[in-house]
Amino acid sequence: MEEPDTEQAGLIDALAQTAFILTSALNRIAADNDLSITQLRLLGTLRGRSPQMKQLAGHLGLEKSTLSGLIDRAQRRGFVQRRPSESDKRVIEVALTADGESTARRIEADVRVAVEPIIRQLDPADRDALRVLLERMLGPAPS
């Protein structure tokens, strides 16, 4: 009972594998829908919101110039639209188009379909226990 590092290595590995599998699933879903991971994040972020360019860049952790290009490409593909703000003429608001909205909905369903068979490996009690442990670990976590 004196091998904390060895024990932790097992947990770190399990967490890493979990992250890897979920990220792989996201990558596959993006590819299946002919989107990049970044465009996928963009669509998810815009659901129910119409942020300004600057807010959106901050939310996605990107430079404003990077976001300009991203929105250019998303707009060219018909997923989003730019709307000039009326109160401040410098500001542009970004919103999903109907097409972008339905694509975002489809992505969300795909994610659910991908994740469900994984969590079904656990019975309901275990699923609940896992949720509680993860929430406890993430909860008061370091910033």
Question: Per rule CB under 8 A, is residue 109 in the interface with its own copies?
Answer: no
CB 63, min distance to its own copies, A: 13
Rounded to 5 degrees, what are φ and ψ at 82? Answer: -100, 135
CB 116, min distance to its own copies, A: 7
Separation CA 48–CA 51 (nearest Å): 10
CB 88, min distance to DNA, A: 5
Stretch that binds DNA, among 89-97, 103-111, 120-128, 130-138 (CB under 7 A): 89-97
Question: Per rule CB under 8 A, is residue 140 in the interface with its own copies?
Answer: yes
Question: Per rule CB under 8 A, is residue 48 in the interface with its own copies?
Answer: no
Which residues contact DNA (rule: CB under 7 A)? Answer: 35-36, 38-39, 52-55, 61-73, 82, 88-93
